[in-house]
Amino acid sequence: MTHRSPPSRTVRVDALSRVEGEGGLDVQIEDGRVSGVQLRIYEPPRFFEAFLRGRHHTEPPDITARICGICPVAYQMSACLAIEDACGVRVDGPLHELRRLLYFGEWIESHGLHVYLLHAPDFMGYPSAIDMAEDHPDLVRRGLAMKKVGNDLLELIGGRAVHPVNVRVGGFYRLPTAAELAPMRERLLVGLDAALETVAWVAGFDFPDLEHHHPYVALEQPDDYAVLGGRIRSTAGLDVPVADFDRAIEETQVPWSTALHAHLLDGDHYLVGPLARFALNRERLHPAALAAAATAGLTGPCRNPFQSIVVRAVELVHAFASAVDVIDAYERPDRPAVDVPARAGVGHGATEAPRGLLYHRYELADDGTILDARIVPPTSQNQSAIEHDLFDFIDDRLADHDDVALAAGIEALVRSYDPCISCATHFLDVRVDRTGSGAP
């Protein structure tokens, strides 16, 4: 690392690996200082919001699930909440609890994938979890086993792990029986132990120094570590209902990305995801998770993005322990879904996807036809904050790191946000640049 670098150069990481979707990164350096960073997202756009127009209000859970194979439940749930809101219906009680249970399955699957297969290899010094398994088979098996419990929970309730078939506006098609859930409870307890071991393991990694100060944004509820709905809060004082998302956050297009960039209205970039949830909602974690966080040294907001792996592990504990609680309290409702009759209106829905706040908005005609749809996924909200962090991280290390070492560190940093590029490229909104017509 003593290699002297020429003062002006471009570092390019062509294809980022171990992220979901396709992206790369350009860094410009002038006179020995970083002058620009662009997270290039070249995943082709898939235009979901455009082809949702004209479809029926019962369809977004199945259609928007296909935006992302890693967090389809998040899309299904945000879609359901938004459409139910448009139709003036609230789904609560046991059906709401069952939705949380399904969602915990997705958190477990997604965080398990990220912690063990995508992120840990960076700290352990391997190109992949499969290579890591040659030296540490038990570790990788533990991660795969946890992930499998998440998948099996998704399958039990949803029918399958990727694009579950059992979610509908208003609830479900088929309700699990208590007898079906009982064996799952035992497996979740085994998963809980594995998650606690995971916290202890990842807390011991050697984390590069980096501290960022972006506002953190997450949903908040008075008595839960919010997953489904709540108010939108930030560490910088934002506190609005989900229906005001549009008034709090705006999206703009940049030439180097097929994903729109989001900013708070005062122009500041911000971060959503595990670090944000943890900063805003830490005391509402399940007691088991709160205790695990404390033993890992996390007693307040965590501002080093590399340490998000510890927070994800803490959220794994939360998801396993909370899933057990939901099963313990489960009483099978009489009906799998409440009726959601169509009516003209606009509805908003937001939930906490594994990667952070996911917002949907639908405008419906009186027969349920979708007139307009807007979807803002977590990764497009984080792009700008990621670029700022990269800027600082690289600028600090330019003098004593060569390009190879720099590129490896950069990739590891990008991975720490668990960016989901498939998610980020299908957003869109008429509002951003049309003047006069069609703006919601």
Residue recorded with tokens 């997450």 = 218
Q: Applying CB under 8 A, which of residues 47, 341, 399, 400 lies at the interface with other proteins?
A: 47
Which contiguous run of DSSP H or E holds residue 360?
strand 356-364
Identity at 290, one-letter amino acid code: L
217 burial via Cβ count (<10 Å: 0-12, 13-18, 19+): buried
Identity at 371, one-letter amino acid code: L
387-416 mask for other proteins (x: CB under 8 A)? ------------------------x-----
> Using CA atoms, how far apart are residues 304 and 167, in angstroms rounded to an integer?
36
**CA distances from residue 288 to 54, 283, 295, 315 in whole angstroms, order as listed:** 46, 11, 11, 10
Report the partner that residue 3 touches, choosing among ligand SF4, other proteins, none (CB closer than 5 to 8 A by kind).
Answer: none
Q: Is 51 in the site for other proteins (CB under 8 A)?
A: yes
Least Cβ distance, residue 68 to ligand SF4 (angstroms): 8
Residues 6+ apart with CB under 8 A from 30: 7, 8
Which parts of 216-307 fold into alpha helices (H)? Answer: 245-248, 274-281, 287-295
Least Cβ distance, residue 21 to ligand SF4 (angstroms): 11
Q: Which lies closer to ligand SF4 via its Cβ, residue 124 or residue 162?
A: 162
Which contiguous run of DSSP H or E holds residue 132?
helix 129-135
Q: Which lies closer to other proteins via its Cβ, residue 220 or residue 372?
A: 372
Q: Which lies closer to other proteins via its Cβ, residue 138 or residue 331?
A: 138
Beta bridge partners of 262: 251
Q: Which of 332, 346, 334 is nearest to 84 (CA)?
A: 346
Q: Which lies closer to other proteins via its Cβ, residue 69 or residue 241?
A: 69
> Using CA atoms, how far apart are residues 388 and 295, in angstroms rounded to an integer?
30
Piece in contact with ligand SF4 (CB under 6 A), picked from 78-86, 161-169, 385-393, 399-407? 161-169
> Using CA atoms, how far apart are residues 202 and 327, in angstroms rounded to an integer?
28
333-352 mask for other proteins (x: CB under 8 A)? ---x----------------
Q: Applying CB under 8 A, which of residues 9, 46, 187, 388 lies at the interface with other proteins?
A: 46
> Using CA atoms, how far apart are residues 5 and 404, in angstroms rounded to an integer?
11
> Using CA atoms, how far apart are residues 236 and 215, in angstroms rounded to an integer?
6
Task: State which of positions 135-194 bind other proteins (CB under 8 A).
Answer: 137, 140-141, 144-145, 147-148, 151, 159-163, 165-166, 168, 173-174
Q: Is 333 in the site for ligand SF4 (CB under 6 A)?
A: no
199-238 mask for ligand SF4 (x: CB under 6 A)? ----------------------------------------
Residues 6+ apart with CB under 8 A from 33: 395, 398
Report the partner that residue 145 touches, choosing among other proteins, ligand SF4, none (CB closer than 5 to 8 A by kind).
Answer: other proteins
Q: Which pair of tokens denotes residue 43?
A: 């995943």
Report the partner that residue 127 touches, choosing among other proteins, ligand SF4, none (CB closer than 5 to 8 A by kind).
Answer: other proteins
Piece in contact with ligand SF4 (CB under 6 A), picked from 2-10, 82-90, 162-170, 400-408? 162-170
> Using CA atoms, how far apart are residues 409 and 407, in angstroms rounded to an integer?
5
Piece in contact with other proteins (CB under 8 A), picked from 57-65, 280-288, 315-323, 395-403? 57-65
Q: Is 165 in the site for ligand SF4 (CB under 6 A)?
A: yes
Q: Which lies closer to other proteins via its Cβ, residue 7 or residue 141?
A: 141
Q: Is 19 in the site for other proteins (CB under 8 A)?
A: yes
What is the total count of residues that contact ligand SF4 (CB under 6 A)? 5
Least Cβ distance, residue 130 to ligand SF4 (angstroms): 21
Q: Which lies closer to other proteins via its Cβ, residue 20 or residue 387?
A: 20
Q: Applying CB under 6 A, which of residues 66, 136, 231, 343 lies at the interface with ligand SF4?
A: 66
Taking residue 305's Cβ as centre, other Cβ atoms within 10 Å add up to: 26
Q: Which pair of tokens denotes residue 38?
A: 């662009």
DSSP 41-104: E-PPP--HHHHHTTSBTTSHHHHHHTT-SSSHHHHHHHHHHHHHHHTT----HHHHHHHHHHHH
Q: Is 128 in the site for other proteins (CB under 8 A)?
A: yes
Report the partner that residue 234 touches, choosing among other proteins, ligand SF4, none (CB closer than 5 to 8 A by kind).
Answer: none
Q: Is 69 in the site for ligand SF4 (CB under 6 A)?
A: yes
- The residues that touch ligand SF4, with contacts defined as CB under 6 A, are 66, 69, 162-163, 165
